[in-house]
Amino acid sequence: MDFSGTKLSYPESTGDQFDRAKEVQAFDDSKAGVKGLIDAGVVKVPTIFIRPQDELSEDLKSPPVEMQVPIIDLGNIGERYSRERVVNEVRCASEEWGFFQVVNHGIPLNVLEEMIDGIRMFHEDDPEIISNDKFKSVHHRVLANRVGPRISVANFFTGVFVPPKVYGPIKELISEENPPIYRDFTVSDYLESVFLRPLDKPGLDYLKK
């Protein structure tokens, strides 16, 4: 692999002649990136980007990993034990996944379709604040569909203004080993920060200690 000059060339490297570590370091030092590959007129995938056959064989021997998005059934949430189960499932899904699917929620299909048609992006920070960063938020990750536009749908709950209610991390989650990351605040405090902060700054920065 020759990185001298303004162009890149990628000769076929096979067998003992191929030093992957050296080739990768040379490519990294060139700062060429994908554009450099295109400008060099490369028509084949460089060897450094091809995994060795023995590694691929090991992967084929491994059993496929089946992943299932957490599904939470709200059908009998009015019953005591069902409610406890749902609360526990929501907690586990929020901690481990950051999202989950809800079934038997009672919301008509046409309402859900209207929500999807009307909403394209929404940032929800509250789960991170009250859980002291234990629960995940789409604000810090990308959720994308295979088909169609990227959509996030959220429920918005208006806070209490009078008397001013104080929001913050759940006290049961705070300890000496897990000190609070976010400070306590009121809805008025939060709204004031929303109107004062720059548009390119996330709201969580204002709420952190």
Task: Residue 189: name the closest of 169, 171, 208, 164 by CA.
Answer: 164
Q: Using alpha carbons only, what angle is made at residue 40 by residues 21 and 12, rounded to the nearest 5 degrees?
A: 45
Q: Which residue has 């056959």 as its token pair?
A: 53
Kindly list the averaged pLDDT for each block of 10 residues, start to end, along the chain of length 209.
44 57 81 80 82 74 77 87 88 86 87 71 50 57 53 53 76 83 83 78 74
Instruction: Return the pLDDT at 63.
Output: 72
Alpha helices in 119-186 (DSSP H): 126-130
Q: How many CB atoms lie within 10 A of CB 165?
A: 10
Instruction: Return the pLDDT at 31.
Output: 78
Instruction: Return the pLDDT at 125.
Output: 47
Instruction: Return the pLDDT at 7.
Output: 42
Question: Rounded to an integer, what distance in angstroms lies between the CA atom of residue 43 and that of residue 20?
Answer: 20
Question: Rounded to an integer, what distance in angstroms lies between the CA atom of residue 6 and that of residue 205?
Answer: 43
Which tokens go with 119? 């909403």
Instruction: Return the pLDDT at 5.
Output: 42
